[in-house]
Structure 1
Amino acid sequence: MALDITAARPWPALLDLPWRTPLEQWPEDILAALPRGLSRHVVRFLRFEGRVIAVKEIKADIARREYNLLRMLRRIGVPAVEPVGVVAGRIGTDGEPLDACLLTRHLQYSLPYRAMLSQTLRPDTADRLIDALAVLLVRLHLAGFWWGDVSLSNTLFKRSAGEFAAYLVDAETGELHDTLSDGQRAHDLDIARVNIAGELLDLQGGGFVDEDVDPVSVSGQILDRYAVLWEALTAIERFSDDKRWRVEERIRGLNDLGFDVGELDITTDFDGAHIQIQPKVVDAGHHSRRLLRLTGVDVEDNQARRLLNDLDSFRASQDRQNDDEEQVAHDWLTQVYEPITRSVPRELRGRMEPAEIFHEILEHRWYMSEKAQLDVTIESAAADYVEHVMPDKPDESAVVGVDTESIPVRAKRP
């Protein structure tokens, strides 16, 4: 068998895997029991050289196309799974050709929506998932990517300080352009609305979504959330010359949404009476980049916002507003963040990302302080959280035993 292996880096150990066997029949001892999202293809998780790799059996030309698309999306900073390689030229033990396999790296601490909602859906959880997907879709469209199959099933979600961050996991129907037309964007939104409604109806049929929830209404929220965010990021704004402060206000507003503005297009009237501005380069991850620069901690943007707020509180409590920002950040990291995250017992520490644990401890401290009507120290809050809350948290680094395939599934939109 002459395998044709395309990989992001040399990986000779790939040759040792059972490529002559259909993926559906691979032995259990090399597989990882992780929850799978819905897919029209066979997908398995593989424990391999200390990593977890997702393997999808698919036609060779489609596998190579998706592999290249994912590489380009990663290169331009769009949240997507990391492509590892493509294995083609497979021949079964019976001499018949087998489909190729696309390999991607499993996104640690992420879950498909069905595993995340394997318990009864809270009323606001669907809203937060839709918000995360809308943000992802806006980022994809700004980058010129038309998805073509927008759905919760084709997305992975990570917790991010009480919200969710969404990652694209299936790009086989996508197309990358310089820019997208309004019609292309509207088409993606229509696909999203229909697919999400169907997915929530499936969950409702399985008893995982309350009967009072209207899946059609919830799915329609992606249109509203997308429109608001797209307007904030791309709208042209015109104001009089004596209100130049609105340029800074626009930038701050975009920063609050988690986006950086690398360039502005600013024009004035001939008489200088009015100014017109439009963001030209808009990049997500404003808070995460600032936290990374100050502390070296690399987390989701909403988590970074929460940690930066605590850093600002630390600076104020120490009366160090005039001190060097990087020095204060270093002291906060070594005196607060690292000691608190390390105080979690090793056997519990891997259940969530350290930044998410820290966020939850901050929330726990707020509730404890409100109940006690006095300021509770973060050390006391951490100890109480570890004792009473952490043991009941699911292990999101590798959730096992979630039967997401037992829920009835409607046919996906072609």
Structure 2
Amino acid sequence: MELRILATPLEQQELLDLPWDMPLEEWPEWYLVALPRGISRHVVRFTRLGQQIYALKEVVQSFADREYRLLRDLERLDVPAVQAVGVVSGREAPGGEPLDAILVTRHLQFSLPYRALFARMMRRDTVERLIDALVVLVARLHLLGFYWGDCSLSNTLFRRDAGAFAAYLVDAETGELHDRLSDGQRAHDLEIARVNIAGEMMDLAASGHLDDTVDPIAIGDHVVERYEALWAELTEWESFDVNERWRIARRVERLNELGFDVAELDIVTDIGGRTVRVQPKVVDPGHHSRRLLRLTGIDAQENQARRLLNDLDAYAAETDQQGEDEAIVANAWVLDCFEPVIRGVPRELRGKLEAPEIYHEVLEHRWYLSEEAGHDVGIMEATRDYVNSVLRHKPDELAVLGGTSADPEDTQPLGIPWNDLR
């Protein structure tokens, strides 16, 4: 049997150096990176190659090939998911014993398995923020016709997003991509999610990592309730009087606030012309993050982008530039506000959080300092205080949770690299 590595030429060369003739669970420690892992029915390990960390999952070849194709499809659809790198098949032990294939994915920087988040006692509001992030991910997948088949916290990674979380699919083994999903397929996917998440909450409660006020069964039911409310907002018809056309703009605004763009509106009037029915045609989420990236080059999560855009609007008002071209104002905001804050973070602390998250937390910190002082505290004064009193004491998420990082400059996931901010 011949060893076959399906990957890009550069990654093929790097992957060749790994001990493919050994079962994954027997690999020597020097090949591995110790990172938190979710619960998996398969052997999963992490390895560093060059400046990247990869996740390796040992699985039957047909499953590995199928999941690789699905993850590549989701990547083309711009779905928040881990990135498939390749499949290694045709593996044999030195004695000729066949070994399962290995699916290789790129580790998601600054991502957190839910059990890492629950390493300390988790409060109810934090649980609900995780559930909200997962619900948005499931709704987005369903809009694209993707049936997950095993939705759970274990099969999801989370990244911090301006006080909330953004969810990423990490296991597509049971997934199916269709032109569209029936109501029955969506309901079945939700029922699997409800049962899985309730069980995961029970495990956390039994281990003492869940606040006593959190009811695991209620959390499972909450997933369904939150999903149904979001799905209705995204897809249902809304009827109103012809004189209430402002409600069309309000519907679009609500969807934008949720991070979804509206490609078009399906508008129907009754025979008398007095009643209007509207149904939005929603496209992929990311309304605010795309706008921020277009204006500034900063790549941020959706809530981070919303917060930074609000600060950009405030800057335009403070500098009397509301009527100016928004690209010009955005460039001035980057130079006057964003870059100075990021430069104010010492090099040794740059692996703590993503740069957009740091800027969001500085804005929060500035608000608290200003309220306490009774007057507006400058952004750089707030940055210095935040670095010394808050950031310095945070865990280094880039290093601990899978950054590539001896040198944060090479890994900071910013539209503007760290070395351009000096």
Smaller-chain TM-score range?
over 0.9
Residue 357 of structure 1 corresponds to 358
Quick one: distance in 1 between partners of 2:212 and 2:267? 51
The answer (yes or no) to whether the contact 1:254–1:260 under 8 Å persists in 2 is: yes
Three-state SS of the structure 2 residue aligned to 1:207 is coil
Runs of 5+ unmatched residues, structure 2: 403-422
* 1:211 positional shift: 2.8
Amino acid in the other structure paired with 2:2: A
The count of residues paired between Structure 1 and Structure 2 equals: 401
* 1:189 positional shift: 1.0
The answer (yes or no) to whether the contact 2:114–2:157 under 8 Å persists in 1 is: yes
1:15 matches 2:20: no
Residue 409 of structure 2 corresponds to none
* 1:228 positional shift: 1.1
Deviations along 1:124-159, whole A, 9 cap, x unmatched? 111111111101000011010111101000000000
TM-score under structure 1 normalisation? 0.94
* 1:19 positional shift: 0.3
* 1:268 positional shift: 2.6
Residue 116 of structure 2 corresponds to 115
Three-state SS of the structure 2 residue aligned to 1:397 is helix
Deviations along 1:171-203, whole A, 9 cap, x unmatched? 000111111111111111111111111111111
* 1:30 positional shift: 2.0
Three-state SS of the structure 2 residue aligned to 1:297 is coil
Within a 5 Å distance, the mapping from 1:19-34 to structure 2 comes to: 19-34=20-35
The answer (yes or no) to whether the contact 2:112–2:401 under 8 Å persists in 1 is: no
Quick one: distance in 2 between partners of 1:156 and 1:303? 17
Residue 127 of structure 1 corresponds to 128
Residue 140 of structure 1 corresponds to 141
Residue 381 of structure 1 corresponds to 382
The answer (yes or no) to whether the contact 1:146–1:188 under 8 Å persists in 2 is: yes
Three-state SS of the structure 2 residue aligned to 1:358 is helix
* 1:38 positional shift: 0.7
The worse-fitting range, judged by mean Cα deviation, of 55-64 and 254-263 is 254-263
The answer (yes or no) to whether the contact 1:34–1:398 under 8 Å persists in 2 is: no
* 1:74 positional shift: 1.1
Deviations along 1:269-302, whole A, 9 cap, x unmatched? 3443332221123220000011011101011001
Amino acid in the other structure paired with 1:360: E
The answer (yes or no) to whether the contact 2:158–2:168 under 8 Å persists in 1 is: yes
Residue 250 of structure 2 corresponds to 249
Quick one: distance in 2 between partners of 1:342 and 1:9? 36
Three-state SS of the structure 2 residue aligned to 1:203 is helix
1:189 matches 2:190: yes
Quick one: distance in 2 between partners of 1:84 and 1:155? 18
* 1:236 positional shift: 0.8
Three-state SS of the structure 1 residue aligned to 2:40 is coil
* 1:221 positional shift: 1.0
The worse-fitting range, judged by mean Cα deviation, of 179-188 and 152-161 is 179-188
Three-state SS of the structure 2 residue aligned to 1:124 is helix
1:285 matches 2:286: yes
Within a 5 Å distance, the mapping from 1:147-162 to structure 2 comes to: 147-162=148-163
1:341 matches 2:342: yes
The answer (yes or no) to whether the contact 1:239–1:276 under 8 Å persists in 2 is: yes
Identical amino acids, percent of aligned pairs: 61
Deviations along 1:42-64, whole A, 9 cap, x unmatched? 00011012100000000000000
Three-state SS of the structure 2 residue aligned to 1:299 is coil
Amino acid in the other structure paired with 2:273: G
Within a 5 Å distance, the mapping from 1:244-323 to structure 2 comes to: 244-323=245-324
Quick one: distance in 2 between partners of 1:316 and 1:119? 41
Residue 408 of structure 2 corresponds to none
> What RMSD, in angstroms, separates the aligned Cα atoms of the two structures?
1.4
Greater RCO structure (CA 8 Å; 6+ sep): 1
Residue 2 of structure 2 corresponds to 2
Three-state SS of the structure 2 residue aligned to 1:65 is helix
Three-state SS of the structure 2 residue aligned to 1:398 is helix
Quick one: distance in 2 between partners of 1:84 and 1:9? 11
* 1:387 positional shift: 0.8
Quick one: distance in 1 between partners of 2:330 and 2:269? 40
Deviations along 1:200-249, whole A, 9 cap, x unmatched? 11111111112332111122211111111101000111222222222222
Quick one: distance in 2 between partners of 1:94 and 1:63? 24
Residues 56 and 366 (structure 1 numbering): CA distance in 2 closer, same or farther, change over 3 Å?
A: same
1:40 matches 2:41: yes
Deviations along 1:377-414, whole A, 9 cap, x unmatched? 1111100011111111011113269xxxxxxxxxxxxx
Amino acid in the other structure paired with 2:257: D
The answer (yes or no) to whether the contact 1:196–1:219 under 8 Å persists in 2 is: yes
The worse-fitting range, judged by mean Cα deviation, of 156-165 and 23-32 is 23-32
Three-state SS of the structure 2 residue aligned to 1:208 is coil
The worse-fitting range, judged by mean Cα deviation, of 157-166 and 359-368 is 359-368
The worse-fitting range, judged by mean Cα deviation, of 72-81 and 242-251 is 242-251
Quick one: distance in 2 between partners of 1:277 and 1:400? 45
Quick one: distance in 1 between partners of 2:343 and 2:123? 31
Within a 5 Å distance, the mapping from 1:37-116 to structure 2 comes to: 37-116=38-117
Quick one: distance in 2 between partners of 1:197 and 1:137? 16
Within a 5 Å distance, the mapping from 1:391-410 to structure 2 comes to: 391-399=392-400
* 1:165 positional shift: 0.2
Three-state SS of the structure 1 residue aligned to 2:392 is helix
Amino acid in the other structure paired with 2:49: F
Quick one: distance in 1 between partners of 2:9 and 2:150? 29
The worse-fitting range, judged by mean Cα deviation, of 209-218 and 295-304 is 209-218
The answer (yes or no) to whether the contact 2:234–2:282 under 8 Å persists in 1 is: no
Quick one: distance in 2 between partners of 1:299 and 1:383? 23
